[in-house]
Amino acid sequence: MTKDNKWSLYEELSHVEQRRPLWETLADELAPERVLYPGSYVDILPSFVFRNVTYVDMDRRCPAFFAGDAVQQRVPYSYQFIHGDYRDPLDIAPVDLLLSQYAGPISHYCKQYVRPGGHLLANNSHADAGVAALDSDWELVGVVRGSQISRDVEGYFEPKPGRVADREEMIESMMPIGYTKTASNYLFRLKSTDNAHDE
Ligand SMILES: C[S@@+](CC[C@H](N)C(=O)[O-])C[C@H]1O[C@@H](n2cnc3c(N)ncnc32)[C@H](O)[C@@H]1O
């Protein structure tokens, strides 16, 4: 595979460019120094906005992509790539922002790498926002409207009639349940150590 062919893996991800305004909003509002993106595949776009991103993915195509000259020549900021399973222990310093996009229950397995007061941006495609909403360590502090973050979080994560929100079941199945009120992405804050285990 040539260097340019490695970059073409990214170009095939036509949907990810749409998230650039949201990453810019998060950069403006949270100013995260360190970002963790498990299940990234080859979505390198955050490294055009955030200054230090660690990517984790187990796909066999990722190591060559992230190590390739085509990527390193384009990306303006520092990044690291870990080829592995995010459910396994990872050698990662505490981060300010955890990204969870279409890649399973990251809020559960990678919460340990977020500093107290740090944030999680999750969608619910693989039920991860629902998993986080049932985790008392995470507090819902925003919902994404377009590329903006609304701080009006009332009424979210109430199951539709007949649906049951079972955290363990959602982690296992990665299947979202229906809620009466939804958003494209949800912003959670990790509670401080003092009250993180309040039930
Ligand atoms: C549907 S893709 C999403 C890619 C990217 N987040 C996006 O929004 O375009 C899911 C990715 O998560 C990765 N993945 C799923 N489970 C994983 C795990 N336990 N550890 C590491 N990577 C995982 C897969 O290898 C795949 O590349």
Distance from the CA of 198 to the center of ligand 1, in angstroms? 31
Instruction: Look at residue 124 and tell me if it is in a domain.
Output: yes
CA distance 158 to 142: 16
Look at ligand 1, atom 18, and give the residue with the nearest C-alpha. 85
CA distance 77 to 48: 7
Instruction: Look at residue 199 and tell me if it is in a domain.
Output: no
Instruction: Look at residue 197 and tell me if it is in a domain.
Output: no
Buried b (16+ CB within 10 A) or exposed e, 32-49: bebbbbbbbbbbbbbbeb
Instruction: Look at residue 149 and tell me if it is in a domain.
Output: yes
- The count of domains in the chain is 1
User: Of the residues 53, 86, 110, 113, which should be mutated to test ligand 1's pocket, given the most ligand atoms within 8 Å of the CB?
Assistant: 86
Distance from the CA of 115 to the center of ligand 1, in angstroms? 23
Distance from the CA of 90 to the center of ligand 1, in angstroms? 16
Instruction: Look at residue 196 and tell me if it is in a domain.
Output: no
Instruction: Look at residue 49 and tell me if it is in a domain.
Output: yes
Entry pTM: 0.95
Instruction: Look at residue 74 and tell me if it is in a domain.
Output: yes
Ligand 1 binding pocket (C-beta < 6 A) is: 13, 16, 38-41, 43, 56-59, 85-87, 101-104
Each residue's pLDDT tens digit, 20-49: 999 999 999 999 999 999 999 999 999 999
Each residue's pLDDT tens digit, 71-116: 999 999 999 999 999 999 999 999 999 999 999 999 999 999 999 9
Distance from the CA of 195 to the center of ligand 1, in angstroms? 31
The CATH number assigned to the domain holding 114 equals: 3.40.50.150
Look at ligand 1, atom 25, and give the residue with the nearest C-alpha. 59
List the domain range (segments joined by +) for residue 125.
Answer: 3-190
CA distance 86 to 159: 28
Instruction: Look at residue 26 and tell me if it is in a domain.
Output: yes
